[in-house]
């Protein structure tokens, strides 16, 4: 018998399973039962769409049996089965390619990987020393057996099986100090595991159950009676009465179907009757999947037609901005033969999608208003997606999303919605002020922020790179425009003050021109300001590109290097102002040096690099030596 080796990647996963210290080993049964159910689904679906495939739906079943003597646990289904080729490709290589690549990159504990990805068939090696898979494809005459003792490879040989389907025979490991593998040979225990994880499976899961019963006609004599029992309730979870479903059941279903080890943050179970009837079971994950913010991530919901799975991931059911939602939709109004291309234009699907979108939004708003801690958790994971979606597509969806946004408020010292910001405005405040920086702590130190603090104006702190693009796309909220505290001309001073500054700038025009010339093309202007309190200088910008945006765009791999149009502002009431004026009269060379140092300081405060660090350091040292 020819022995084949597992593919390198599969072997690694297998070793992981065989030597697993994962405590929750019982999940192997869930994996095998759901594979069996999937296989029946496939055949069921084929029979509905292809008239030449004939089946009797009533016969569909999964049978579990135990042989204590031989230490075997057997799971058999009458689904689509596998050809020899399919046995080879499906069981010889790991299906979820990329799983291990991910593991190596991120190096989570072995245990996590099992929970996280639900590694499927191979998990049976956690409890078995020998596995036989006997399968006959529904359109094939021949049956084959795939067999393996684990790491040293597998073989595929011809076998006998009367009808289509797959039988998996596990020879259960001997008990060890840590693991009581014999539990998987105990009818009651196995039945309980099936009930726990696979209750909703739509096909009957049958088991022989033996009970001690009083002998007929006797009052004290007992006998063992074996009956074949259906273990699961068979009603799909989403069709059950909400009141009868425990949170644990929802969570188990989620782990099982959507490959997430953590419990969902929120479960949404809804059924709609009317123009278009459907049940939906939706989950908002607690954390973003590892590939969520990459182009590999695919949004979508499972789509069922009256209980039959017709598509594993239907992207038309979710708007891009809610791409993080997992779950399924089951509708009896859908045609089974519907193709991916047709879906987009299908009236029913569009109606369902619209409804689902509304429902998700409503649930998020509810969470925002009634469970803010949870909402903040959600926002931490997916806020970026919402903000990104506000400016995506030229702000097409901004109205839909603007009230779901949160930003940090300087005055309220917590995350607030834009409405909460506006409700808290000081009477005279006309704009929504925001400041951009790497962190709240860094923004706190910005010179520009002083005047806002003094006036007790609330400022939103934008610390993520998408933030500023987002507020620029919004442009305004409830008629209030957004204003960057670092933008030129944003001076909260009164009229008298601004007249004074205007005069200052006029009187010292030549000096300021000279300073600007010293800085070449680096700044657009140099001027006095009254916006600063203690700090001597700051950089502000003119036009739509702020300094933070320049930083972001610099980091992008585009040819075009967009530059913010910067203005060097000097605190008119700081002693440095007088000093500069003096130097202009006495020592123009030194004024140039001062200008360079002041500009360098302003850049450093903004977190921008210096183009001429050596020159600046030398100038400063010369000044110190004087």
Q: Using the rule CB under 6 A, which residue among 79, 236, 264, 285 binds ligand ADP?
A: 79
Strands of the 431-436 sheet, one edge to the other: 414-416, 407-409, 459-462, 431-436, 480-484, 476-477
Closest distance between ligand ADP and the C-beta of residue 375, in Å? 33
Look-up: residue for tokens 């939602």? 325
Distance CA 361, CA 404 (A): 9
Candidates 32-40, 493-501, 515-523, 578-586; binding stretch for ligand ADP (CB under 6 A) = 32-40
Phi, psi of 75 (to 5 degrees): -120, 120
With respect to ligand ADP, which residue has the nearer C-beta, 36 or 303?
36
> Between 35 and 448, whose beta carbon lies closer to ligand ADP?
35
Cβ proximity of 395 and 473 under 8 Å = yes
Least distance (Å) between residue 226 CB and ligand ADP? 25
- Under the binding rule (CB under 6 A), the answer on residue 257 touching ligand ADP is no
If one asks whether residue 115 binds ligand ADP (CB under 6 A), the answer comes out as: no
Extract long-range pairs of 387-394: CB within 8 Å, 24+ residues apart.
387/464, 387/466, 387/467, 387/469, 387/470, 388/466, 388/470, 389/320, 389/321, 390/470, 390/473, 390/474, 391/466, 391/469, 391/470, 391/472, 391/473, 392/320, 394/473
Whole-number Å distance between alpha carbons of 478 and 284 = 29
Does 595 bind ligand ADP (CB under 6 A)? Our answer is no
Candidates 22, 121, 154, 324: give the one binding ligand ADP (CB under 6 A): 121
d(CA 372, CA 404): 12
Among residues 175 and 298, whose Cβ is nearest to ligand ADP? 298
User: What minimum distance in Å lies between the beta carbon of 26 and ligand ADP?
Assistant: 16
- Map the footprint of ligand ADP across residues 366-425, applying CB under 6 A: none
Q: Which of residues 156-215 bind ligand ADP (CB under 6 A)?
A: 166
Q: Is 616 in the site for ligand ADP (CB under 6 A)?
A: no
Q: Which residue is nearest to ligand ADP (CB)?
A: 120
- Using CB under 6 A, which of 115, 120, 264, 319 touches ligand ADP? 120
Q: Which of 447, 368, 450 is closest to 415 using CA atoms?
A: 368
Task: Choose which of 17, 33, 39, 301 interacts with ligand ADP (CB under 6 A).
Answer: 39
Cβ proximity to ligand ADP, 171 vs 348, nearer residue: 171
Is the CB of residue 369 less than 8 Å from the CB of residue 341? no
Q: Binding of ligand ADP at residue 285 (CB under 6 A)?
A: no
Measured from the Cβ of residue 272, the count of other Cβ atoms closer than 10 Å reads 16
Select 166 or 530, whichever has its Cβ closest to ligand ADP: 166
Min dist CB 415 to ligand ADP, Å, is: 38
Say how many CA atoms lie within 13 Å of 220 toward its Cβ. Answer: 0
Show Cβ contacts of residue 319 under 8 Å, excluding neighbours closer than 6 positions: 353, 357, 397
Q: How far is the CB of 150 from ligand ADP (least distance, A)?
A: 15
Closer residue to ligand ADP in complex, CB, 80/473:
80
Q: Indicate whether 82 belongs to the interface with ligand ADP (CB under 6 A).
A: yes
Segment 215 to 234, residues that bind ligand ADP, using CB under 6 A: none
Counting beta carbons within 10 angstroms of the beta carbon of residue 345, is it exposed (0 to 12), middle (13 to 18) or buried (19 or more)? Answer: exposed
Binding site for ligand ADP (CB under 6 A): 31, 35-36, 39, 77, 79-82, 90-91, 95, 120-121, 166
């Amino acid at each position: 018998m020819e022995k084949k080796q597992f593919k390198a990647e599969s072997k690694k996963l297998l070793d992981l399973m065989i030597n697993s210290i994962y405590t929750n080993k019982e999940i192997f049964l869930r994996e095998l039962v759901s594979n069996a159910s999937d296989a029946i689904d496939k055949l069921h679906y084929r029979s509905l769409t292809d008239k030449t495939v004939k089946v009797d739906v009533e016969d569909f079943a999964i049978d579990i049996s135990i042989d204590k003597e031989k230490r075997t646990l057997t799971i058999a289904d009458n689904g689509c089965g596998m050809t020899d080729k399919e046995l080879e490709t499906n069981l010889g290589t790991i299906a979820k390619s990329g799983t291990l690549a991910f593991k190596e990159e991120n190096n989570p504990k072995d245990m996590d990987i099992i929970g996280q990805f639900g590694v499927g068939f191979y998990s049976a090696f956690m409890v078995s020393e020998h596995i036989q898979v006997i399968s006959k494809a529904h359109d094939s005459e021949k049956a084959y057996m795939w067999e393996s003792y684990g790491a040293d490879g597998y073989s595929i040989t011809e076998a006998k099986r009367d009808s289509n389907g797959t039988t998996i025979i596990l020879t259960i490991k001997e008990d060890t100090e840590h693991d009581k593998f014999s539990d998987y040979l105990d009818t009651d225990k196995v039945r309980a595991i099936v009930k726990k994880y696979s209750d909703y499976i739509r096909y009957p899961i049958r088991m022989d159950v033996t009970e001690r019963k009083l002998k007929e006609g006797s009052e004290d004599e007992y006998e063992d009676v074996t009956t074949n029992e259906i273990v699961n309730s068979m009603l799909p979870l989403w069709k059950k009465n909400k009141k009868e479903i425990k949170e644990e059941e929802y969570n188990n279903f989620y782990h099982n179907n959507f490959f997430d080890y953590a419990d969902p943050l929120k479960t949404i179970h809804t059924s709609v009757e009317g123009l278009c009837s459907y049940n939906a079971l939706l989950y908002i994950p607690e954390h973003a999947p590892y590939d969520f913010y990459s182009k590999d991530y695919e949004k979508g919901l499972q789509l069922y037609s009256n209980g039959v799975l017709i598509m594993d991931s239907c992207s038309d059911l979710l708007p891009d901005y809610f791409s993080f939602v997992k779950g399924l939709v089951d509708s009896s109004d859908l045609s089974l033969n519907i193709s991916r291309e047709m879906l987009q234009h299908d009236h029913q699907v569009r109606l369902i999608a619209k409804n689902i979108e509304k429902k998700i939004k409503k649930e998020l708003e509810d969470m925002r208003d009634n469970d803010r801690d949870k909402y903040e958790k959600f926002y931490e994971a997916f806020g970026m997606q919402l903000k990104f979606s506000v400016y995506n597509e030229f702000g097409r969806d901004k109205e839909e999303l603007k009230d779901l946004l949160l930003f940090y408020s300087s005055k309220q010292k917590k995350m607030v919605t834009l409405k909460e910001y506006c409700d808290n405005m000081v009477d005279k405040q006309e704009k929504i002020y925001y400041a951009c920086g790497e962190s709240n702590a860094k923004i706190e130190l910005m010179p520009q922020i002083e005047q806002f603090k003094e006036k007790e104006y609330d400022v939103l702190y934008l610390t993520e790179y998408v933030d500023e693009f987002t507020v620029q796309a919004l442009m305004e909220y409830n008629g209030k425009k957004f204003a960057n505290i670092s933008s030129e001309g944003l001076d909260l001073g009164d009229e008298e003050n601004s007249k004074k500054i205007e005069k200052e700038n006029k009187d010292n025009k030549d000096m300021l021109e000279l300073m600007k010339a010293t800085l070449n093309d680096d700044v657009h202007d140099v001027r006095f300001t009254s916006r600063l309190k203690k700090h001597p200088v700051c950089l502000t910008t003119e036009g739509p590109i702020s300094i933070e945006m320049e930083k972001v765009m610099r980091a992008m791999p585009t040819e075009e290097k967009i530059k913010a149009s910067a203005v060097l502002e000097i605190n008119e009431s700081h002693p440095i102002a007088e000093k500069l004026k003096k130097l202009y009269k006495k020592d123009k060379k030194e004024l140039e040096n001062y200008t360079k140092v002041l500009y360098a300081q302003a850049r450093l405060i903004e977190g921008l690099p210096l183009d001429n660090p050596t020159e600046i350091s030398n100038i400063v040292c010369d000044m110190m030596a004087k």
